[in-house]
Amino acid sequence: MQNLQNSDSTIDSQAQEIALKEMVRERYDRIATQEKTLNAASCCGATVPSNKIYNIMMDDYSTIEGYAQDADLGLGCGLPTEFAHIKEGDTVLDLGSGAGNDCFVARHLTGANGKVIGVDFSDKMLEKARLNVEKLGYNNVEFRKGDIENLPITEASIDVIVSNCVLNLVPNKKAVFSQMYRALKKGGHFSISDVVLVGELPQNLRKDAEMYAGCVSGAIQKNDYLQAIKEAGFENITIQKEKTISIPDDILEKYLSEKEIQDFKKGEVGIFSITVFAQKDPQSEPAKRLFSPKKDTKNANTCAPNSGCC
């Protein structure tokens, strides 16, 4: 009886995960075909009704080399390539590549001798990304359809993984980190920007599906996020950049009581955009001679390699 109940609840949670992913996929299919200004109405492209623009998570890409305007749908929450140490000739993988925004920045860094692979499960995003690559005329940027929980990538074939505001949308983050570990070469590394939480967000705010696609409801606690990276086998886990996400009053008022808003503003509970770096097998080349991560003392909570804090 116990076993039967256990297997029922496993099936339930699997069904929930499938439904959640389908909701995300449909939403990003829709976002791929709408104007960037509509996406920019909130973080990660949700259509949360707010009279204020608050995609403050998104870094300004416009002056970055390799930037392709048509690939920028305003959906990121950081600038993962900034800390990705991509070298000429590298093979780079972008998880949840959207219209290709980070792939084209990465392509500038790998040059013609490298390779960039973007993986996304939204057909409309893939269509847009492939159109962009055609316009740019690159023959070493490829977009593959796939679920990042089960990467369509050969084992130990990737030098650097980047990702921008995607893992928060994925139900099984541990599966993604373990797939990333599998896909990276020995000595490879990743730099990913994502949304994480500190403290318990009030339930109404968390549960709302609009906020989910706005990259908040699917986000997990920062410590759990870092722990999942460690459990996947990564080392030298470093938060390279961290930004507090402030939510405008009109959104908070929609979901929270006055008391909850006050608690939220005290800052014991918070939503953050982080850019995390970590290495697979840092004793192998080229990881050993990669770098000594710099500390951004103004903006970052840096968790230095071997400091024991992760």
Ligand X SMILES: C[S@@+](CC[C@H](N)C(=O)[O-])C[C@H]1O[C@@H](n2cnc3c(N)ncnc32)[C@H](O)[C@@H]1O
**Residue with smaller CB distance to ligand X, 97 or 132:** 97
Site string for ligand X, 3-32 (x = CB under 6 A): ------------------x--xx--x----
Nearest approach in angstroms of CB 162 to ligand X is 9
Site size toward ligand X, by CB under 6 A: 27
Nearest to 204 by CA among 151, 248, 142, 261: 261
**Residue with smaller CB distance to ligand X, 99 or 251:** 99
Report the DSSP pairing between strands 270-279 and 91-95. unpaired
Structural Rg of the chain based on CA atoms: 19
**Residue with smaller CB distance to ligand X, 60 or 258:** 60
**Residue with smaller CB distance to ligand X, 101 or 191:** 101
**Residue choice 48, 75, 271, 303 for contact with ligand X (CB under 6 A):** 75
Nearest approach in angstroms of CB 185 to ligand X is 22
**Residue choice 42, 46, 57, 76 for contact with ligand X (CB under 6 A):** 76
Which tokens is 22 given? Answer: 């389908």
Nearest approach in angstroms of CB 163 to ligand X is 7
Nearest to 154 by CA among 188, 204, 107, 126: 188
Strand partners, 193: 164, 275
Query: Tokens 């995003």 appear where?
Result: 125
Site string for ligand X, 117-146 (x = CB under 6 A): --xxxx--x---------------------
Residue pair 105/65 in contact by the 8 Å Cβ criterion: yes
**Residue choice 148, 219, 245, 256 for contact with ligand X (CB under 6 A):** 148
Applying the rule CB under 6 A, the residues between 152 and 181 that interact with ligand X are 164-166, 169-170
Which tokens is 131 given? Answer: 């159109």
Q: Which secondary-structure segment (H or E) carries 20?
A: helix 2-32
Core vs surface per residue 94-108: b (16+ CB within 10 A) or e: bbbbbbbbbbbbbbe
**Residue with smaller CB distance to ligand X, 57 or 287:** 57
**Residue choice 70, 142, 149, 296 for contact with ligand X (CB under 6 A):** 149
Nearest approach in angstroms of CB 78 to ligand X is 9
How far apart CA 262 and CA 3 sit, in angstroms, is: 45
Nearest to 83 by CA among 70, 102, 97: 102
3-class DSSP assignment, residue 131: helix
**Residue with smaller CB distance to ligand X, 90 or 120:** 120
For residue 78, state whether it binds ligand X (rule: CB under 6 A).
no
Applying the rule CB under 6 A, the residues between 93 and 112 that interact with ligand X are 96-98, 101-102
How far apart CA 18 and CA 273 sit, in angstroms, is: 26
**Residue with smaller CB distance to ligand X, 53 or 309:** 53
Report the DSSP pairing between strands 158-164 and 91-95. parallel
Residues that bind ligand X (CB under 6 A): 21, 24-25, 28, 44-45, 73, 75-76, 96-98, 101-102, 119-122, 125, 147-149, 164-166, 169-170
